[in-house]
Structure 1
Amino acid sequence: MSDFLAAALQLTSTSDIDSNLNAAEEQIELAARRGADLVGLPENFAFLGEDQKKLKIASSIYEKCNSFLVTMARRYQVVLLGGGFPVPAGDGIRTLNRAELFGKDGQSLARYDKIHLFDVDLPEGNTYRESETIVSGSESPPVVDVPGLCKIGLSICYDVRFPELYRDLVNKGADLLMIPAAFTAFTGKDHWQVLLQARAIENTAYVVAPAQTGRHYGRRQSHGHAMVIDPWGTVLADAGVVQGAAIAPADKERVERIRGQMPSLKHRKTELFI
């Protein structure tokens, strides 16, 4: 099998975990009914609310997320990415932000704890300090060869601004890059699509980017536009700004063809930049 349908889901998550998971299941079911084999949930799919509340119930969120992802993968027979959920950290104060990929049998295939943390003061007035509540991951993101699909590399949101991470994934063999996000509305309008296309083009790889959209709490608002992008940089599907999904075919043979036509990965002079 060289081609399959990939679905990047789009949600408007809040602090209501049960409501969030119900909305997520609805979109997973719809994607599965449309024939999707690979389904990605966005960052913070189970909880997007005040940090202090998240920290108080982090263990409960983690347990519910793990059970939910295993059940959904088995129930709908999809390879499923939980695009970012809190995992209690060893310091007892903060959490890790974890993306985890599950096979159709509910078994964990790969996991990644977000490395790059979003500590930014935006001109529109919002301040983000992920490092105050999240511990940076200590290992580079993995690539997993999923039978019947392709080699999938994991990342999360703010990682998209660090191209060296994606070059590492491609060096490890990735054909498809997953970039689940809760991208801010302010930065997203100018940078989201451009960055996704850049990561696809420079690595001649598919990009599947699930996203949060709309207003979550207070002034927190996400950009939306979950996307599937091909290795030439063409946007194959865009979910817009409502809850739903971007669904499009991914073809491992197309990756190989484009890498043959545009062999820039073979032309790197890495020895000059070490």
Structure 2
Amino acid sequence: MSYFTIAGVQMHALHHGDNTEAMRHRIDALMNRFPQVQMVLFSELMPMGASPLHAQTLPSDTEALFCQMAAQHRIWLIPGSMFEQVGEHIYNTLVVINPLGQVVTRYRKMFPFRPYEAGVESGNEFVVFDVPTIGRFGVSICYDMWFPETTRTLASMGAEVILHPTMTDTIDRDIELSIARTNAAINQCYFFDINGAGALGNGRSIVVGPSGDVIHQAGIGEEVIPIEIDLNRVRRERETGLRGLGQPLKSFRDREVDFSIYRSENGSSPFLDTLGPLAKPVRTDQDIF
């Protein structure tokens, strides 16, 4: 079996507060209207909003609530991400729940949107999971996709679909749409980039096929996006090439070049070290007067 239906949910919600009941209503309505859906994916920080003050220790009552929803509808559920409290540290964490209501895995965002996402620690483990008889899925969160190494690593681990919740409410959303298409094409995979609407994002969620083709791009309002994908398309294009042409994963595997930048312990270089600190831009006296 290679067909699988994923519904992305782009919805309005509170920027700071509990959105779980609204998510429950959206899942109930979605599954009533589109009972063929097998997986539901929400946007970044949707459950409890964008304030680290709402961070929870996992497992939590909120996570258990989502497990109940998944079991009730017998769906795979990725309820966006939540801030997770681990001792004195806070992570931006995504949870994957199977149709039995069991937590299969958790993923901590590797690249918090610094310097704006201040006080949030970086995760350090790539996460893929298997949907039995279907295929392998990888997960990443928002700013992660700006670093091509993240998606390339997931593809190298066998991921055929990348599930990517985001919370983008800024003027760079148009660039992210291009990045989503590029990540899908150079890794020959499906890419589901689901954004929030209103206070938790400016919409324009995008679903991209393994040739970099746009399957659907949402508007800026609320939208439910049920898409049936065919994993055999990924396997065929990885075998014969994107549109019968480039085979980037095989070429990456068979490369002769050594990327010397990665030999550095922190990925730095003499040039990168000249760029100054990772900090918000500030006004100088010259800017004010």
Q: Which range, TM-score by smaller chain?
A: 0.7 to 0.9
Partner residue of 2:171?
Answer: 186
- Are the aligned partners of 2:47 and 2:79 in contact in 1 as well (CA < 8 Å)? no
1:257-268 aligned at under 5 Å gives the runs: 257-262=236-241, 263-268=247-252
Bigger strand fraction: 1
1:235-254 aligned at under 5 Å gives the runs: 235-254=214-233
Question: Deviation string for 1:111-164 (max 9, x for gaps)?
Answer: 1101101124xxxxxxx2x132x111132x211111143200011000010111
- Number of equivalenced pairs: 251
**RMSD over equivalenced CA pairs, Å:** 2.0
Partner residue of 2:40?
Answer: 39
Cα distance in structure 2, aligned partners of 1:61 and 1:90: 11
Cα distance in structure 1, aligned partners of 2:86 and 2:74: 31
Partner residue of 1:214?
Answer: 198
Question: Deviation string for 1:206-233 (max 9, x for gaps)?
Answer: 01122111235xxxxx221222211111
Cα distance in structure 2, aligned partners of 1:64 and 1:191: 37
Deviation at 1:172, TM superposition (A): 0.6
Cα distance in structure 2, aligned partners of 1:184 and 1:198: 21
3-state SS of 1:112 partner: strand
Equivalent residue for 1:166, pick from 142, 151, 174: 151
TM-score (norm: length of structure 2): 0.80
Report which structure shows greater RCO (CA 8 Å, sep ≥6).
1
Cα distance in structure 1, aligned partners of 2:58 and 2:238: 41
2:124 matched to 1:138?
yes
In 2 relative to 1, CA 83–104 (structure 1 residues): closer, same or farther, beyond 3 Å? same
Cα distance in structure 1, aligned partners of 2:76 and 2:142: 20
- Are the aligned partners of 1:61 and 1:86 in contact in 2 as well (CA < 8 Å)? no
2:34 matched to 1:14?
no
Deviation at 1:271, TM superposition (A): 4.2
Structure 2 alignment gaps of length 5 or more: 242-246, 260-289
In 2 relative to 1, CA 226–112 (structure 1 residues): closer, same or farther, beyond 3 Å? same
Of 252-261 and 149-158, deviating more is 252-261
Equivalent residue for 2:74, pick from 50, 72, 77: 77
Partner residue of 1:230?
Answer: 209
Q: Counterpart amino acid of 2:192?
A: V
3-state SS of 1:39 partner: strand
Cα distance in structure 2, aligned partners of 1:163 and 1:112: 18
Partner residue of 1:123?
Answer: none
Question: Deviation string for 1:34-91 (max 9, x for gaps)?
Answer: 1211111111111225x3xx42x42389724312220111111111112210111222
Q: Counterpart amino acid of 2:118?
A: S
Partner residue of 2:108?
Answer: 113
1:195-206 aligned at under 5 Å gives the runs: 195-206=179-190
User: Higher Cα Rg: structure 1 or 2?
Assistant: 2
Structure 1 alignment gaps of length 5 or more: 121-127, 217-221
3-state SS of 2:40 partner: strand
Question: Deviation string for 1:234-267 (max 9, x for gaps)?
Answer: 2212332112222211111111122123122112
- Are the aligned partners of 1:13 and 1:47 in contact in 2 as well (CA < 8 Å)? no
Cα distance in structure 2, aligned partners of 1:142 and 1:180: 14
Cα distance in structure 1, aligned partners of 2:170 and 2:221: 13
3-state SS of 2:78 partner: strand
Partner residue of 2:84?
Answer: 87
Q: Counterpart amino acid of 1:168?
A: T
- Are the aligned partners of 1:11 and 1:23 in contact in 2 as well (CA < 8 Å)? no
